[in-house]
Amino acid sequence: MDQTTEQPEILPPAIASRLRRLDRAEAILDPRTDRAVLDAARSYFAARPAAAPARRSRWALPLGAAAAVLLAAVLVRPLVFHTPNADDVDGSGRVDVLDVLALARMRAAGGDASGITDTRIDELAYRIVALDSSRRAP
Amino acid sequence: MSRARVLHAALALLCAAGVLSTTAQPEAGTFTMVDVFVVSDTPVAAWQVELTERRGAMQIVGIERGDDSTFRDPPFYDRVALERNATDRIVLASFSLSDAGELPRGKVRVARVHVRATGAAQPDYEARLVAAGTADGRPIDAQLSLETQPER
């Protein structure tokens, strides 16, 4: 016997008795037993009444549809309806010196009646040249 | 007073004068005028230009309008840019309400920027035309050019 790898089979009696108690034979289930249990389960569930339909509020469908339409409108609105930018005077889609010129020409043509002041023209002009994004025209 | 004391006092005065003359000297830097030209066959009523120094080492000390007196003097610019010791860019813009017949065309100097270069290397300027337009507000596809010359 190799003394480095094998140990004598000596266990304390208490552990040996516990192991003996655990060493029980497994119950072997016959296929006929399985089938009998399955048949009993089927006949039990066949005798039960059908499940009652889930109770649903009659407003659930219209409310859901309305919520979906509202959500779609909110999401699509910026794409369909372009929000006009007050600084985009010439409507080119960008704000630059041509908008300042357009504003100044409107003021020159309409005078005070145009409602455009020199201050507004200067403010727009300073916004288009601003280096910091917080002061820049969009 | 001994001769040694007089010598020490003279030396101290010389040192003090040296220190004072060093600190009183203006900071080193090259002053340059950068002229901005818009080139267009169509009379120019409005322009907007972005001037950039690629190394971010320019200090703008002054801005003037160009040759046409009907444009605002100086052009619109971000005043904060002049308060900075060094910046990499500035945006300039101006317009005129003159009739098309009175507006400049061809190669037009629209602005002069006085710059102090703060670095040792040569400044590397670049200009971009943001927009230019005619008297009736139509955009022009104009060209842009820069010319630099040292301050006299």
How would CATH label the architecture of B30-150? Answer: Sandwich (2.60)
Cα separation, B53 vs B84, in Å, equals: 14
From B48, B80, B97, residue closest to A97, measured CB to CB: B48
**pLDDT computed for residue B93 by the predictor:** 96
Task: Note whether B62 and B114 are within 8 A (CB).
Answer: yes
Q: How far is B121 from chain A (nearest CA, A)?
A: 25
**pLDDT computed for residue B4 by the predictor:** 67
Inter-chain CB proximity A100 and B90 less than 8 Å: no
Q: How far is B46 from chain A (nearest CA, A)?
A: 7
For residue B55, count CB atoms less than 10 angstroms from its CB and return exposed for 0-12, middle for 13-18, buried for 19 or more: middle
Question: What's the average pLDDT block by block, 10 residues per block, for chain A (138 residues)?
Answer: 60 86 75 90 84 74 91 79 80 93 93 90 94 68
Over residues B83-129, the pLDDT tens digits come to 877 788 999 999 999 999 999 999 999 999 999 877 677 888 999 99
ipTM > 0.90 for the complex:
no
Inter-chain CB proximity A131 and B133 less than 8 Å: no
**pLDDT computed for residue A100 by the predictor:** 95
Inter-chain CB proximity B137 and A105 less than 8 Å: yes
Over residues B16-39, the pLDDT tens digits come to 554 444 444 445 567 889 999 999
Question: Would you kindly state where each structural domain of chain B is located, as residue ranges?
Answer: 30-150
